[in-house]
Structure 1
């Protein structure tokens, strides 16, 4: 029996498979995923999401051209956040020389206003490597689950190290102290200071605000 669109938003693909929106059919990203040994299933009824993974992760991909073309991608991000499904959302954003000037405002919008986790990627090849790693980690809990042990996942650690002044040691301390990425983003300088010191606390707060 063929799955209904609503079913596709609650059922994860089997291990080793990635469910992709049909628009990605001829993309370099999909070719790279196949090269990594993953099976690709195409579906035009994923609504806003671009990819669904076996560990019940849902990915929305914001490309360089999306960012440069204007603000319409923001409406898509809002629909993605508001979509009623059982998947853990993740936004991948192409951070390139052309999109760099827009990245700060996009990051604040995604993380602070929408409360979604964001990871910058250099392009589709890097994105495919990240997706392949997430699929291969299928036996673990979702990497963005709101518990301190999952927040110490290398992918989340890399996200926090994007903040100026935060190296690996400080990133680890922050992730052990705050229970979620959203809580970290919303923290006041006074809450951050006991963990990383006054100067870095101000840098973190300025980065998000």
Structure 2
């Protein structure tokens, strides 16, 4: 059974720092972060979490190999969702030429079934740039503003909602004004969606969000 440190997962690292799971110590992602001036502490007791950031958020990294190898990554994602309810949970997913065919299925599972924030990245280099942007951006923000990194995620959130068939930018914006999180959107009944996007679109969206996820990818 994997363990985690309650101290590390309840106290955010200082601005400009991250706590990384020990398994990432020799990775290209870590080397890139160090080159960008991010301070890194390594910890063996983070459980399924890969990175713990100063804005009280955490990251799970799903690689191309994880997706192609089978469905074990789904069990890991469920453990991740269940283990960190006090943190803003993000998933970095490698979207490459090989894993692209699985992307829609993984996206639906992560975003609509689990209610997690998903950020597609091309690999560890882009992931390091994204993490550095979040970590270093936090230090320049108003300290009284909560979860300021959400502004970084808003375009991603909008793009994800537009992946639902029949939902363009205008409908996506309207939906997010009424249902500000993907979890709220996926839990909404068709009758709740109808005043926002109309009868046909509401039922199409509801059917898509509640279509059973395939057991395999």
TM-score by length of 2: 0.78
Structure-2 change in CA distance of 1:144 and 1:161 (3 Å) = farther
Higher relative contact order (CA 8 A, sep 6+): 2
Match of 2:183 in 1: 182
Match of 1:142 in 2: 147
Deviation at 1:198, TM superposition (A): 5.6
Match of 1:26 in 2: 26
Structure-2 change in CA distance of 1:113 and 1:135 (3 Å) = same
Deviation at 1:85, TM superposition (A): 5.5
Structure-2 change in CA distance of 1:16 and 1:5 (3 Å) = same
Question: Is the 8 Å Cα contact of residues 112 and 182 (structure 2) preserved in structure 1?
Answer: no
Deviation at 1:155, TM superposition (A): 4.1
Alpha-carbon RMSD across the aligned residues, in angstroms, is 2.8
Q: Matched residues in 2 for 1:171 and 1:136: separation?
A: 30
Helix, strand or coil: the match of 1:91? strand
Helix, strand or coil: the match of 1:126? helix
Deviation at 1:50, TM superposition (A): 0.3
Tell which deviates more after alignment, 7-16 or 76-85. 76-85
Where in structure 2 are the equivalents of 1:159-198 lying within 5 Å?
159-163=160-164, 166-197=167-198
Unmatched tracts of structure 2, length 5 or more: 212-217
Question: Is the 8 Å Cα contact of residues 162 and 168 (structure 2) preserved in structure 1?
Answer: yes
Deviation at 1:119, TM superposition (A): 2.1
Deviation at 1:41, TM superposition (A): 1.5
Match of 1:47 in 2: 47
Question: Is the 8 Å Cα contact of residues 58 and 90 (structure 2) preserved in structure 1?
Answer: yes
Q: How many pairs are equivalent?
A: 202
Question: Is the 8 Å Cα contact of residues 50 and 60 (structure 1) preserved in structure 2?
Answer: yes
TM-score by length of 1: 0.80
Question: Is the 8 Å Cα contact of residues 134 and 149 (structure 2) preserved in structure 1?
Answer: no
Match of 2:215 in 1: none
Q: Matched residues in 2 for 1:205 and 1:144: separation?
A: 29
CA deviation digits over 1:102-123, x for unaligned, max 9? 2222222222332222222222
Q: Matched residues in 2 for 1:144 and 1:45: separation?
A: 25
